[in-house]
Chain A
């Protein structure tokens, strides 16, 4: 197989779903069946394309494989004047596109039944395929500008699909809205919020990209690493700043602190959308970007040591987010929101891992841990979201309090969800265990003991909220359930049980996979030093990690599954616990503060300036000028009396003054 073969596949893999998206409105003219199956067929084709890239990982090829065409041509303009459009194939992009396309296809399949009969399906299929195309473009693009296009493209799809049920019907609020009053929002609001918050991050990123472009003279991912080292000395301090600005975009897209508040509300979209965009793929774009910049920032740090701050920032943002989001998942009252917070928390893990890998000067465990965790998470979290869609559909409510005892009614969903949950908890032999192990090892090897501690604590919380979710949904009283509750149809449960089984299979293959990934990436990323080991402690990480899972699971099991302990009784005994719960349920007041500090003051300020300054002063000033002009002319007009005598006197006075002036001058 030649290299052109692979690049052709790369081009096709994102253009096929793009064509699929564009054809959707036409196919809908033929009929709903043609449209629905057509859309799924295009995502299947995209998957078949990307799967053909996998052999390249096993071959002895010279990475990266590239193909470029000219695109933006501005003759005579520097840097941005000649942005090419190019595909970049390297281990990172090959792994990512396959994660994206496989999960996408399964979710599209699930959508066939889940979205069946919805009136806006043409829009749905259009944006789903458009999303897949943009996501693959984002991952495959070889320069920052083309990546930015895909990046914003997935943002538009996210916006459109979160607000998919834009009618905001109040009757359907149990189903279509998100959050509890006073923080309950309709879908259209959530879509807007998601777009605004991520857009803010993107603008930071755009600033960073432009700074990188101008100071290094290139936008190309491959050239950047070397170009950064020969930047003139006066521009060198800009590189770390630009990296941090770009990180802002990643933080927004991946819903990390302080820009995480949009993701919980993004759950207003259909469950399939949450699974695809807000769990498996789009929110990982930030992780992908950091991974993409990882070798570049490492190279730069040899010339500009401050570039290391990029890794420190990534690591700490990830660690803090992982912990805080996990606490919120423990308290959340909505099924999908538990999963959303869990996603934020798990992405925090990935960021933490990448950061630690960088801090340790290119530790391969950190890099591979992050990518492997990303893969695992995509699989099990997509399964969980799809299953949650079935559950919510069966119960007719998104609230956990309306669920319970579903084990008997939905045995297949229960099995699938349980498997995926165990993977999320990171229990051996599931994939999640292995990748979490790598993540924790990376932090330990980097010598960041506090971060390691946070990671371990998060693992405890993760086990707790996962078991709590299973307990609340599937255990407990089941008598009052009527015949309305039933198992999901096969086309719905097949994808998520397949994904759940997948996470188990990945788990069994993990030692081999991990090794393979390490080998592939080690050849690609320059390692500057830092051994794998930091004493014998690394051997104990699996032990710690399993202990953490057990520590978190037991109380949750007793409270929510066995129900021997009563959560309400425990909490009501301690006022501090009660307050803590309220604090967490109100989302640490972060959401409220953002509205109070940014949204409302902006609107009020705009209103005040408009009434006070624009209309009250500037506009009045205009009329004051015209008024003064009229008044002056009124006064001057009085001289024009029309009496001949007055004019004669005027002429004489004027003449006298003239004569006086002339005489005085002489």
Chain B
């Protein structure tokens, strides 16, 4: 189906075009420039919703192709299908809400024009990477989301921000180069960057050639996803980034690595799915990632670092769903992207409010806030419970479907005992999420209240309302997940 109204192009281009305008307005408007920045973002939310409705009703995918680089036969192709629709919508929603949150959080900071300008580019990069139907376009947007976020961390971060921003940049860039090598090799064999055409063009190619190429591309994505042992940039970057950016890095950005892995594995190189060793070791790797991230979260005293390790663990779940080689697993992975995005954004926003009010993000210095900040506390608890996969929250469904997908593959004849055991271990491993989540809740929200906290502990409305919206969404989608899942049949795999 052709995107007649250029909805997809608008979703990507509007924030890019408005970025310099915001930079220019920044001097004049000061703090209020954030409100201006939220206008294009809500517009993107609307255009993407409209496109998603078209995908849903049109029972197919939405494609928009523009002549762009005729020399290498590369068109600028955007596409929305059942997988990218929920992910792009999550990104748009989070970008908008975090933008509102930023207005409150960044109050009193310098250079807000530049901040919101970079923020727009960052958001555009994420939306574009998800809508890209073309490996080259994907790569460009992949870089577009890296560069602004690097600058954002380096300027407005905390702690040794320059060094950590550089670490983040080098890690992701090394991954991106590995991916670029893979893309180039694919292009040299097939002569196109279009993902949907590649699988048929590459069908006859020997698996021995495909495997290293796909590995190079996946490696780059796994760095972004922070799969063990490529994760060390993440705790630093997420902890020291300005909190609104953490609330986008972790929930929205790193999952794009997972999204792209679905494309690479299921759309471009579906032959790899039949490689038992590769897929099983991928599942094992995700098992290690989810366990390791969860374990490391238990050892953290810094709330933002704890959330960062929790993200690593959650990405392990997502990869587990992807490596399940089944429809259910992929749907679970997409749902996990959404559920993790909503929940982790809530949690990072809460940690930002703590930092703003109490000037600390150390878990030990916070205590007994449940009675003082009821709305924040309820959202905080909902966030952690959704991560832990407790119904009726959205996280339950993602976990259930991921594990269901893997068990389904394991039990299909012939029975795959190795996968069954890995899956059972992964299910039991989920207790870690509940463990660090509830323990954090107990330490921060329960117990006697802090001395003198009654004066400080007032919920800033501007920063709390976005959390409440996300918490409500987590519940509504958790009660009726079909809102998301019914669109997922229009998948390009």
B418 to chain A, nearest CB (A): 15
| Across-interface contacts of B442 in A (CB, < 8 A) | 188-189, 192
> A167's contact among B331, B396, B446, by CB below 8 Å, is which?
B446
> A80's contact among B404, B423, B435, B447, by CB below 8 Å, is which?
B404
A235 to chain B, nearest CB (A): 6
Asked if A609 contacts B295 (CB within 8 A), the reply is: yes
| Across-interface contacts of B486 in A (CB, < 8 A) | 73-75
Asked if A169 contacts B448 (CB within 8 A), the reply is: yes
Asked if A73 contacts B482 (CB within 8 A), the reply is: yes
Asked if A203 contacts B396 (CB within 8 A), the reply is: no
| Across-interface contacts of B414 in A (CB, < 8 A) | 234
Among A74, A152, A618: residue with most chain B CB under 10 A:
A74
B92 to chain A, nearest CB (A): 23
Asked if A618 contacts B408 (CB within 8 A), the reply is: no
Asked if A77 meets B327 with Cβ closer than 8 Å, knowing A167-B447, A188-B447, A204-B428, the reply is yes
Asked if A234 meets B415 with Cβ closer than 8 Å, knowing A80-B328, A80-B400, A153-B392, the reply is yes
- How distant is the Cα of A145 from the Cα of B391 in the complex, in angstroms? 10
A525 to chain B, nearest CB (A): 29
When each residue 183-220 of chain A gets 1 if its CB lies under 8 Å from chain B and 0 otherwise, what string results?
Answer: 00010110010011001100110110011011100000
The answer to whether the Cβ of A166 comes within 8 Å of any Cβ in the partner chain is: yes
- How distant is the Cα of A205 from the Cα of B397 in the complex, in angstroms? 15
The answer to whether the Cβ of A71 comes within 8 Å of any Cβ in the partner chain is: yes
When each residue 597-616 of chain A gets 1 if its CB lies under 8 Å from chain B and 0 otherwise, what string results?
Answer: 00000110111011100100
The answer to whether the Cβ of B229 comes within 8 Å of any Cβ in the partner chain is: yes
Instruction: Scan residues 155-178 of chain A and give those whose CB is less than 8 A from a CB of chain B.
Output: 155-156, 159, 163, 166-170
| Across-interface contacts of B17 in A (CB, < 8 A) | none
| Across-interface contacts of B445 in A (CB, < 8 A) | 166
| Across-interface contacts of B188 in A (CB, < 8 A) | none
**In the complex, how many residue pairs between chain A and chain B have their CB atoms under 8 Å apart?**
150
Asked if B328 contacts A152 (CB within 8 A), the reply is: no
B206 to chain A, nearest CB (A): 31
- Report the nearest B residue to A166, measured CB to CB: B446
Query: Number of contacting residues on B, CB 8 A?
Result: 57
> A211's contact among B385, B397, B411, by CB below 8 Å, is which?
B411
A632 to chain B, nearest CB (A): 16
A386 to chain B, nearest CB (A): 26
The answer to whether the Cβ of B472 comes within 8 Å of any Cβ in the partner chain is: no
> A163's contact among B167, B295, B446, by CB below 8 Å, is which?
B446
> A232's contact among B298, B413, B485, by CB below 8 Å, is which?
B413
The answer to whether the Cβ of B296 comes within 8 Å of any Cβ in the partner chain is: yes
The answer to whether the Cβ of A527 comes within 8 Å of any Cβ in the partner chain is: no
- How distant is the Cα of A120 from the Cα of B413 in the complex, in angstroms? 55
When each residue 453-493 of chain B gets 1 if its CB lies under 8 Å from chain A and 0 otherwise, what string results?
Answer: 00000000000000000000000000011100110110000
Asked if B488 contacts A610 (CB within 8 A), the reply is: no
| Across-interface contacts of B434 in A (CB, < 8 A) | 195-196, 199
A188 to chain B, nearest CB (A): 4
A267 to chain B, nearest CB (A): 18
- Report the nearest A residue to B423, measured CB to CB: A207
A412 to chain B, nearest CB (A): 36
- How distant is the Cα of A207 from the Cα of B296 in the complex, in angstroms? 25
Asked if A203 contacts B430 (CB within 8 A), the reply is: yes
The answer to whether the Cβ of A656 comes within 8 Å of any Cβ in the partner chain is: no
Asked if A72 meets B411 with Cβ closer than 8 Å, knowing A148-B391, A609-B296, the reply is no
- Report the nearest A residue to B170, measured CB to CB: A626
The answer to whether the Cβ of B118 comes within 8 Å of any Cβ in the partner chain is: no
Asked if B328 contacts A235 (CB within 8 A), the reply is: no
- How distant is the Cα of A595 from the Cα of B434 in the complex, in angstroms? 17
- Report the nearest B residue to A122, measured CB to CB: B374
A429 to chain B, nearest CB (A): 43
Asked if B391 contacts A196 (CB within 8 A), the reply is: no
- How distant is the Cα of A210 from the Cα of B428 in the complex, in angstroms? 13
Asked if A210 meets B404 with Cβ closer than 8 Å, knowing A153-B392, A199-B431, the reply is yes
- Report the nearest A residue to B482, measured CB to CB: A73
A125 to chain B, nearest CB (A): 15
Asked if B447 contacts A234 (CB within 8 A), the reply is: no
Asked if A168 meets B448 with Cβ closer than 8 Å, knowing A200-B431, A214-B407, the reply is yes
- How distant is the Cα of A463 from the Cα of B155 in the complex, in angstroms? 73
The answer to whether the Cβ of B232 comes within 8 Å of any Cβ in the partner chain is: yes
| Across-interface contacts of B233 in A (CB, < 8 A) | 622
> B411's contact among A166, A238, A603, by CB below 8 Å, is which?
A238
A597 to chain B, nearest CB (A): 15
The answer to whether the Cβ of B299 comes within 8 Å of any Cβ in the partner chain is: yes
| Across-interface contacts of B441 in A (CB, < 8 A) | 192
The answer to whether the Cβ of A664 comes within 8 Å of any Cβ in the partner chain is: no
Asked if B415 contacts A606 (CB within 8 A), the reply is: no
Asked if A206 meets B446 with Cβ closer than 8 Å, knowing A73-B486, A76-B489, A78-B327, the reply is no
The answer to whether the Cβ of A115 comes within 8 Å of any Cβ in the partner chain is: no
- How distant is the Cα of A611 from the Cα of B300 in the complex, in angstroms? 10
When each residue 398-419 of chain B gets 1 if its CB lies under 8 Å from chain A and 0 otherwise, what string results?
Answer: 0011011001100101110000
Asked if A167 meets B296 with Cβ closer than 8 Å, knowing A75-B486, A188-B446, A200-B431, the reply is no
- How distant is the Cα of A163 from the Cα of B439 in the complex, in angstroms? 13
Asked if A71 meets B480 with Cβ closer than 8 Å, knowing A213-B404, A609-B295, the reply is yes
> A203's contact among B300, B431, B489, by CB below 8 Å, is which?
B431
The answer to whether the Cβ of A81 comes within 8 Å of any Cβ in the partner chain is: yes
The answer to whether the Cβ of A547 comes within 8 Å of any Cβ in the partner chain is: no
A203 to chain B, nearest CB (A): 5
Among B371, B400, B414: residue with most chain A CB under 10 A:
B400
| Across-interface contacts of A79 in B (CB, < 8 A) | 404, 408
Asked if A610 meets B299 with Cβ closer than 8 Å, knowing A152-B390, A207-B424, the reply is yes
- How distant is the Cα of A73 from the Cα of B488 in the complex, in angstroms? 10
A123 to chain B, nearest CB (A): 9
- How distant is the Cα of A235 from the Cα of B417 in the complex, in angstroms? 11
| Across-interface contacts of A457 in B (CB, < 8 A) | none
| Across-interface contacts of A607 in B (CB, < 8 A) | 299
| Across-interface contacts of A186 in B (CB, < 8 A) | 447
Asked if B411 contacts A74 (CB within 8 A), the reply is: no
- How distant is the Cα of A280 from the Cα of B401 in the complex, in angstroms? 33
When each residue 366-407 of chain B gets 1 if its CB lies under 8 Å from chain A and 0 otherwise, what string results?
Answer: 001011000000000000010010111000110011011001
- Report the nearest A residue to B399, measured CB to CB: A206
- How distant is the Cα of A120 from the Cα of B377 in the complex, in angstroms? 14
> B415's contact among A170, A235, A605, by CB below 8 Å, is which?
A235
B341 to chain A, nearest CB (A): 20
| Across-interface contacts of A214 in B (CB, < 8 A) | 404, 407-408, 411
| Across-interface contacts of A156 in B (CB, < 8 A) | 385, 390
- How distant is the Cα of A567 from the Cα of B397 in the complex, in angstroms? 55
- Report the nearest A residue to B408, measured CB to CB: A214
The answer to whether the Cβ of B427 comes within 8 Å of any Cβ in the partner chain is: yes
| Across-interface contacts of B190 in A (CB, < 8 A) | none
When each residue 76-105 of chain A gets 1 if its CB lies under 8 Å from chain B and 0 otherwise, what string results?
Answer: 111111000000000000000000000000
| Across-interface contacts of A206 in B (CB, < 8 A) | 400, 403, 427
| Across-interface contacts of B396 in A (CB, < 8 A) | 149, 152
- Report the nearest B residue to A159, measured CB to CB: B438
Residues on A lying within 8 angstroms of B by beta carbon are: 71-81, 120, 145, 148-149, 152-153, 155-156, 159, 163, 166-170, 186, 188-189, 192, 195-196, 199-200, 203-204, 206-207, 210-211, 213-215, 232, 234-235, 238, 602-603, 605-607, 609-611, 614, 618-619, 622, 626
A-B contact pairs, 23 of them (CB 8 A): A73-B485, A74-B327, A76-B489, A152-B391, A153-B391, A153-B392, A159-B438, A167-B368, A167-B371, A167-B448, A168-B447, A188-B442, A192-B442, A196-B438, A203-B427, A207-B403, A211-B407, A232-B413, A235-B411, A238-B411, A606-B295, A614-B232, A622-B233
Beyond known contacts A72-B481, A234-B413: 13 more, CB 8 A cutoff: A75-B486, A79-B404, A153-B392, A156-B390, A168-B446, A200-B428, A207-B407, A210-B403, A602-B295, A609-B299, A610-B296, A618-B232, A622-B233
The 4 closest A-B pairs by CB, nearest first: A75-B489, A188-B446, A610-B299, A606-B299
